[in-house]
Amino acid sequence: MKTSTTKPAASRPSRASRSRGPSARELIFGDLWEFDPAPETADPHIRSSYGLFINGKFSPARKGGSFPSISPGNEKKLTYLALADATDVDAAYSAASKAYEKVWSKLPGNERGKFLYRIARLLQDRAREFAVAESLDGGKPIKESRDFDVPTAAAHFFYHAGWADKLDHLAPGRQVAPYGVVGQVIPWNFPLLMLAWKIAPALAAGNCIVIKPAETTSITALKLCEVFQEAGLPPGVVNVVTGAGETGAAVMSHPLASKVAFTGSTEVGKAIMRSLAGTGKKMTMELGGKAANIVFEDAPLGQAVEGIINGIFFNQGHVCCAGSRLLVQESIADDMLTRLKLRMQSLRVGDPLDKNTDIGAINSKEQLTRISELVKSGVAEGAELYQTPCRLPSKGFYFPPSIFSKVTQSHRIAREEIFGPVLSILTFRTPEEAIEKANNTAYGLSAGVWTDKGSRILKMASQLKAGVVWANTYNKFDPSSPFGGYKESGFGREGGRQGLLDYCKLL
């Protein structure tokens, strides 16, 4: 069934062009066929307004400020969020400090672990509701929030629950202790998952928390506060304040924060580091990326195509480790471009709540403007743009899946993080050239290597300057596996023993 609320994003290929080359063997329905809508209908239980979560209770901001939160999928208002200023942040830190001194620091690890297990199980119980809330609020396809974000967030709580009473084994030969109160700020691309990455290890290690979610995606953080209440987490152990950059700066700079953890852009991360220099606060920074996904001519190409598509179009490309620079060996470059264009034609862009949607809404109008601007620069600088022939909803923020060929290292689209569904393709001839091009970036978060040769995988992995290197796969995450970068992608790790150690003092 076709809907009348759509507009073409780009002209569709003619039937003749669709039947050329390898595409003739594929089922591309184009205009001939449309799926019926398959919306997820579970009630996300979003309140009409949310207060700040301080000392175990929701309360309005002291000065009464609030701001609306809209759904990027249809631009409808979802709720109002309290706007925390420095006095609210101060109240949150007082509550966290009191909870640490009086309750949390006195609990043995196995008791802390019980709370984490409870949170994980309650999150699983309410998984469907959380998935709908996440997709409505952030724009990601329901199949991703349902099958990835929510289960992986629960897995982080389970994993760290297991660690809570085993901290003596965290750093063999050394004793560890919590920092006390930690301040955390997170971005909008994986709102619930980033929250779990921050909260679970900090609590397992014995810290109390003041955390600020991103201003466009705070709903699942506040819903998780309901879970904390249900789990009986002592008041003040986790405090959630909502607001934008100013609120975030107050969270990062508060004198009671012994350690701060930030995930977001490199630009803001640098500003925070400058402002905190000399304060003695411990820091971890999880910042931007511009990953190279490198495909050699001996790679299983069909599998690589799936990895490339997932690497750049997962979560609309709003992924710090997105494989946004594809480096293809020259001998297979034309073949790879044909295969990618073909595969892109079957990606469905649209309503985030539709179970058939592969690519949902861009998170905000500002982000859509930034993506559009960078894509224009790619065209102006001489790269060749291909946009998939899809129809975009007329309301909401959408961008068609895009790939650029004929990209050179100097193009902005090869250097800057686009944080959208846009792939830049470059070529190489030798492994040495691939390594040089892959490392020619200010970032160092992640990379991918596709080849049939195990020895080449090991060589590439040791020479690529990236915190995570995936081989013959991409975007694989596990709570036991540390994630993080170096160079301008930041420092510190999240996940695994290393991530937990970042929330502990070594005695």
Is 286 among the residues known to form the active site? yes
Is 416 among the residues known to form the active site? no
| Rounded CA separation 262/69 (Å) | 22
| Residue selected from 51, 248, 352, 401 as contacting ligand NAD according to rule CB under 6 A | 248
Q: How far is the CB of 394 from ligand NAD (least distance, A)?
A: 26
Following DSSP, what letter does each residue of 370-390 receive, concatenated?
A: HHHHHHHHHHHTTPEEEE---
Comparing every residue's Cβ against ligand NAD, the nearest one is 248
- Let me know: does 136 contact 44? Beta carbons within 8 Å: yes
Two structure tokens written together for 263: 């995930």
Two structure tokens written together for 449: 């290597």
Q: Which stretch binds ligand NAD (CB under 6 A): 85-93, 100-108, 184-192, 431-439?
A: 184-192
Q: Where are the beta strands (DSSP E) in 28-101?
A: 49-50, 52-54, 57-59, 66-70, 77-82
Nearer to ligand NAD, 176 or 261 (CB): 261
Q: How far is the CB of 104 from ligand NAD (least distance, A)?
A: 25
Q: Enter the DSSP assignment of 120.
A: H
Helix (H, G, I), strand (E, B) or coil at 200: helix
88 binds ligand NAD (CB under 6 A): no
187 binds ligand NAD (CB under 6 A): yes
Place of tokens 């971005």: 187
String of contacts with ligand NAD for each residue 326-365, x by CB under 6 A: ----------------------------------------
String of contacts with ligand NAD for each residue 451-490, x by CB under 6 A: ----------------------------------x---xx
Of the candidates 87, 100, 86, which has an alpha carbon nearest to the alpha carbon of residue 236? Answer: 100
Looking at 134, 144, 208, 320, which residue is catalytic? 320
Q: Enter the DSSP assignment of 331.
A: G
Tell me the site size for ligand NAD, rule CB under 6 A.
30
Interactions with ligand NAD, residue window 417-446 (CB under 6 A)? 417, 419, 445
| Rounded CA separation 359/237 (Å) | 37
Two structure tokens written together for 79: 């709720």
- Let me know: does 414 contact 424? Beta carbons within 8 Å: yes
Nearer to ligand NAD, 231 or 291 (CB): 291
Q: How far is the CB of 367 from ligand NAD (least distance, A)?
A: 7
Q: How far is the CB of 133 from ligand NAD (least distance, A)?
A: 18
Please tell me the total number of residues recorded for the chain in this structure: 507
Query: Distance from CA of residue 179 to its chain's centroid?
Result: 26
| Angle, helix 219-231 to helix 109-125, in steps of 10 degrees | 120
Looking at 215, 286, 488, 494, which residue is catalytic? 286
| Residue selected from 188, 397, 399, 428 as contacting ligand NAD according to rule CB under 6 A | 188
Helix (H, G, I), strand (E, B) or coil at 179: coil
138 binds ligand NAD (CB under 6 A): no
Q: Which stretch binds ligand NAD (CB under 6 A): 94-102, 182-190, 397-405, 470-478?
A: 182-190
Q: In 10 A of CB 37, how many CB atoms? A: 14
Q: Which stretch binds ligand NAD (CB under 6 A): 200-208, 281-289, 333-341, 393-401?
A: 281-289
199 binds ligand NAD (CB under 6 A): no
Q: In 10 A of CB 413, how many CB atoms? A: 24
263 binds ligand NAD (CB under 6 A): yes
Backbone angles phi, psi at 229, to 5 degrees: -65, -45
Catalytic (active-site) positions:
286, 320
Chain positions contacting ligand NAD, by CB under 6 A? 185-189, 212, 214-215, 244-245, 248-249, 252, 263-265, 268, 271-272, 286-289, 320, 417, 419, 445, 485, 489-490
